[in-house]
Amino acid sequence: MKASITETRQRWIDAHAQVKICVKSEIAAGFKSKCIADGVSMASRIRGFMETEVGRPTLKIHAANAVFTRGQRRKAIKNILDLLEKILVMETLYMDNIPDNLRNSIVYEKAEQAISSMEDAINLLTDAY
């Protein structure tokens, strides 16, 4: 017999505990910024710390953040390729519109390097796709 959503939720609640901590606002803001920059939630970072402290490190991958099937991975690569190609077009337009007197400048050189790197990345991702 299949458990109802309420029963499943109750089992989850019974198996977990909430922990409330108080820290200075600037520490909380800095921690939040760091978590955002690292692409992780504050809760998962704290949970990982707690698991390590009690000797139970985990490598748990949450379904919302993972790409499990081959089809999902291929779709993710396709999305990355599409975005990278759009950025490449924009960077090429930017470089093409740099005035002639700046063609030998660092600005132009950086644009050339960016375009070259993006083309390399597109080729590698296309091979993977």
Each residue's pLDDT tens digit, 44-68: 888 888 888 887 755 555 555 555 6
**74 and 110 share a domain?**
yes
DSSP state of 98: S
Domains identified in the chain, total number: 2
> How confident is the prediction for the chain on average, in pLDDT?
83
CA 122, CA 115: separation in Å to the nearest integer? 10
Q: State the average pLDDT over residues 95-101.
A: 90
Work out the pLDDT band at 87, boundaries 50, 70, 90. very high
pLDDT of residue 46: 87
Encode burial over 56-91: b for 16+ CB neighbours within 10 A, e otherwise. eeeeeeeeeeeeeeeeeeeeeeeeebeeeeeebeeb
Each residue's pLDDT tens digit, 8-57: 888 878 888 888 889 999 999 999 998 888 888 888 888 888 888 887 75
Range of the domain at 9: 5-65
Of the candidates 92, 90, 89, which has an alpha carbon nearest to the alpha carbon of residue 108?
Answer: 92
Lowest mean pLDDT among 5-9, 94-98, 114-118: 5-9
**39 and 82 share a domain?**
no
pTM (global) more than 0.75: no
**40 and 80 share a domain?**
no
pLDDT of residue 39: 81
Q: Which residue has the tokens 């490190």?
A: 57
**75 and 121 share a domain?**
yes
